[in-house]
Amino acid sequence: MNGSSSKTTSSSLTCKKLTILTILAVVIQIIGLSLFVMGFFPVKPTLSGSSGLESFYPPGSDSVHDDKKIPTLLPHQLKSLYQQLSGVPPIFDRLILMVIDGLPAEFVLGSDGKPPSKVFMDAMPYTQSLLAKGKAIGYHAKAAPPTVTMPRLKAMVSGAIGGYLDVAFNFNTQALLDDNLIEQFLRIGWKMVMLGDDTWLKLFPGMFTRHDGVNSFFVKDTVQVDHNVSRHLEFELNRTDWNLLILHFLGLDHVGHIGGRNSLLMGPKLKEMDEVIKMIDLSMIQGQKDNRGRTLLMVASDHGMTENGNHGGSSYEETDSLALFVGLGEFSGASTTNNTANQVDIASTLALLFGVPIPKNNVGIVMAEVLKSITDKEVLRLMELNSWQLLRLLQVQLPDLECKSFTCDVHRDDNGSRISRDYGSVEEMFCCLYSHAAAVHKSLKSESNIGDEFGSTFLAYCEFLRTASQWLSHRATDRPFSLLASGLAAMLLSCLILLALLFLIVRENYIKEKGHFPHLNKTMHRWHLDKTFSLAIIFILILSMGSSSMVEEEQYIWHFVTSSFYLVLLRKAMQSMTAVVLQNSPIVMRRQKERGILQVFSIIAILTSGRVLRGWHQGGVNWVHLPDISKLLEQAGSAYISLLQLTSGVLLISANFFILLFSLWSKRTFVMVILLIYLYPASLILYHIVVHQGTTIATTGFGSTEMVQRFYAILSISAIGTIISVPWLMPSQNSDISRNGFYSSCDISFEVRRRLLLEGMRDSTFVTGWVFIFSWCLLQLLLQQPINSMPLLLLFIQILATVWYSSGGDPQLVEVAALYYLGMAGHFGIGNTNNLASIDVAGAFIGVSSHSTLLSGILMFIITYASPMLALLSMVMYISVKDIDGAMHAKDVNVGHLLKRSISFPCLVPLGLNSVLLIAYTAVLLLMRNHLFIWSVFSPKYLYVCATTACVSIGASLVASSVVYTCVVLASRRI
């Protein structure tokens, strides 16, 4: 009866069906996730074309028919026409845009009314003197997330806020097609020169008369990238054949990536930038004396940086960018350091200062403080032009914005001040604000002296501009519901398929065990605490997803649930040691006791390592400033970190060599050959740590590139070659099964084949799993920051101890879930967070001699998902230590049955758990789509969820393919 049931269940889900359905579920999940991402993350709608003559007329004016003449006008004629229509002559003749990548405004202007720290003040004496004398004015120009270079440069020249996924395109910059200042300047005949970050050349191909671009992604280089700019500076400043000079310095951003805000290299780098500002300012003064025209120097930064020197998120430290104007005149009596603006305000301000149309998609407003050198009438005229441009953009977003349909009464108090009122709609609010400013301004145009009325008109324009800019900046585009629904439905279908397959496998194993061990029927159905808690973890994680604070501090949840889970397993292991053993055999009792002791010590090692790992990095957002082990080591000095890294590397390599040799001592000749193969890449890593690791000088850093590339090649060839050859070359021991004379010749043949296949499967998968783990650890020793070498060793200990704990018995859901949870907790243990700023950009270019978006992206993925992928790759070794002898009870060597029993749990459990979390967080993202922190907290987390899904899919594919290949090869050898 039981055997029949088992046979029926087994035949209902063959290995072939399981494989096809699993692959189908993963493909459906990827398709659904892609559809949802495309639908949810907005690409801001933009107006096609470029601003022209219509910019100097009110919206809806009939005077724009002259715009058709633009293609026939020569550049100098168009420039004169713009100046005539504007009514305000250009204030400057030339512009020098100096971009200091990653410079926080706090370094130059201070914060909260306090000056910068003494170190930064002393590093930039000339710049501080300009601010103190009122010869420069600075702004804290808030940058919109994501705070990476390419979208921030777009914002500065176009005034538009790009889509959130621009962070992904930062590594593959394409030409900017939207209206922008560079294109407007080119249209009026400006000659432009660019020196520095080659992102400009990719955004504006063919627009620069001269250029010298440098790649921005070699973050180990803090010297050459800036020298390539400065070496041309004196030559360019003495020339008069350019109107726009762009200087983009990268060194300060690279200093931040290497050593953080407080790096010893930060002061000298700021001093270097101060010398450049001094050289330019003195040249501007001399040029004005020589009648070479007035030049404006604008010093800007694309973003700030965190304490660790990273960026990409939305914290104040990352969004605090600089906008410093030098050459506008005197600002005596006005604050030169406490001004605030938005980064998108730069485009409209520069366009109005130089007499070109404001880019069509600009959402910024003019920085009014920079207009002190022109008359009040000219100030109001420029604000009027800015208002017309924003009103046109509002009319695109709000088709019902027709001001003639609204009656706006201006309410004033006894002092004549305007009183705010409630509006029936957004359209009415904008119409009334604009109509009020336009009406007051119109009454002043005919007056020769506007007197006191200037203040009220100025404030009226400011109110409209500020309100319109804020609304346009925070405008959420309509997300296509059909795309979101299709994506969510596909992910839900994939999740149901994976969970159904997992349920069938669990049910099939239960029926099989019930049939083979009928005396355990009364206890097999019990739902133990470890199984209950493994599922409870999922519900805890799902419940935490709805809180922005818990998303920011997710590492605490993972550390808590993982340590609690292993405490439950410790309780179970100790109970099994004291439980009544049904068999009376002393041998069985001794083996169970030994296994129980091994499990207890394994879990103690896991908990101890986990506690140290928990205190290594104080991750998250709110308590990142608190002391932790990594900070203490950094304060102690780089010598301690280098020694720790070398020690961790030696221990990690030695432990891996010992494990392989000890586990396969009977095949030590074969094992020694493998160890000799991996001795060379291991030696290269140790040599790299001793000689090259931690270098910050460009030439020394690049000196290790060839060696690193050699390591990549050798490790890849060794790993792939070993995995392919091991099943073919693995030696086997002849089993003397016929010595008792009990079996027939047919039975002996079957038994020998079965034993040989199981033995070969066990040993080959163990070696394959070892290759995966050791190769991955060597790669991480190279790519991870030196401070993470010890956490990598601790992760290895946890993974190995979990495998030891799981040795013996069939693959179980709880044990595989434990490995998965361990990998996710380790993800945060090595310093990762749900903030994009924690991504290690520096390591993604180790060994890269020329920029490759694909290669750098792969390396960045490897660094970020070091722990989850290590846990997934260890599933192969986990399979090798399980007792899969029960898979072969049939009167044939059923390879499909063996494969299903071996890889079903190690593949389905991670895929199923990740699928549940993916669906849950997708639902949370939809519910939180109007939340205040949707772009700063929930969206970055979803990008990590997407990357984790890719990691789990890749890991499960590697595990399944390697085990299937091994089993097929061994079956072909033995049969």
Cα–Cα distances (Å) from 31 to 450, 945, 956, in that order, read 63, 15, 18
Of 174, 33, 924, which is closest to residue 550 (Cα–Cα)? 924
Sheet hosting strand 339-342, strand order edge to edge = 210-214, 192-197, 244-249, 94-100, 295-300, 320-326, 136-142, 339-342
**Is residue 216's pLDDT more than 70?**
no
pLDDT for position 722: 94
- For residue 850, the model assigns a pLDDT of 72
- The pLDDT of residue 484 is 87
Reported as a pLDDT band with limits 50, 70 and 90, residue 696 is very low
Task: Check whether 1 has a pLDDT greater than 80.
Answer: no
| Residue 566 reports pLDDT greater than 70 | yes
CA 312/CA 839 separation, integer angstroms: 9
CA atoms within 13 A on the CB side of 95: 27
For the residues 245-255, what does the mean pLDDT come to?
Answer: 93
Residues 393-416: b if buried by 16+ CB within 10 A, e if exposed: bbbeebeebebeebebeeeeeeee
pLDDT on residue 248: 95
Q: Between 218 and 967, where is the model more confident?
A: 967
pLDDT band, residue 737 (cuts 50/70/90)? very low
Tokens of 309: 């020197």
Q: Is the pLDDT of residue 32 over 50?
A: yes
Region 868-893: mean pLDDT is: 76
Gap between the Cα atoms of 655 and 793, Å rounded: 10
Specify the pLDDT at position 668.
Answer: 87
Instruction: Tell me what the mean pLDDT of segment 105-110 comes to.
Output: 93
- Inform me whether the pLDDT recorded for 222 exceeds 90: no
Higher pLDDT, 313 or 688: 688
Residue 166 has pLDDT above 70, yes or no: no
Q: Compute the average pLDDT of residues 475-490.
A: 77
At 218 the pLDDT is 67
Please, which residues have CB within 8 angstroms of residue 850's CB and are 6 or more apart in sequence? none
Residue 742's pLDDT is 42
Give the pLDDT band of residue 402 (cuts 50, 70, 90): confident
Range of lowest pLDDT (27-36, 56-65, 276-285, 921-930): 56-65
pLDDT for 389 beyond 60: yes
Q: Give the pLDDT band (50/70/90) at residue 624.
A: confident
Highest mean pLDDT among 421-425, 565-569, 731-735: 565-569
Report the C-alpha gap between 897 and 879 in whole angstroms: 15
343-382 pLDDT per residue, tens: 999 999 999 999 999 999 999 999 988 888 888 888 999 9
Q: How confident is the model over 648-675, as pLDDT tens digits?
A: 999 999 999 999 998 888 888 899 999 9
Q: 482 phi and psi, to 5 degrees?
A: -60, -40
Q: What is the pLDDT of residues 760-813, one digit of tens each?
A: 888 999 999 999 999 999 999 999 989 999 999 999 999 999 998 888 665 688
Residue 700 has pLDDT above 50, yes or no: no
CA separation (Å) from 619 to 308, 615, 859? 11, 9, 22
Burial class (CB in 10 A: 0-12, 13-18, 19+), 337: buried
Contact 40, 479 (CB under 8 A): yes
| All residues at 6 or more sequence positions from 343 whose CB lies less than 8 Å from its CB, including other chains | 141, 142, 143, 144, 152, 155, 156, 321, 323, 364
Mean pLDDT for 714-723 is: 94
Choice between 755 and 532, residue whose per-residue pLDDT is larger: 532
Mean pLDDT across the chain: 83
Residue-level pLDDT at 168: 54
Amino acid letter at 738? S
Residue 3: predicted pLDDT:
43
Provide the pLDDT for residue 966.
92
* pLDDT level of residue 121 (50, 70, 90 thresholds): very high
How far apart (Å, rounded) are the C-alpha atoms in residues 473 and 362? Answer: 10
With a cut of 80, say whether residue 579 has pLDDT above it.
no
Tell me the pLDDT band of 9, cut-offs 50, 70 and 90.
very low
User: In which band, very low, low, confident or very high, does the pLDDT at 511 lie, cut at 50, 70 and 90?
Assistant: low
- Residues of the chain with pLDDT > 90, as a percent, come to 43
Note the pLDDT tens digit of each residue in 258-287.
Answer: 888 888 899 999 999 999 999 999 999 888
- What confidence category does residue 739 fall into, taking pLDDT thresholds of 50, 70 and 90? very low
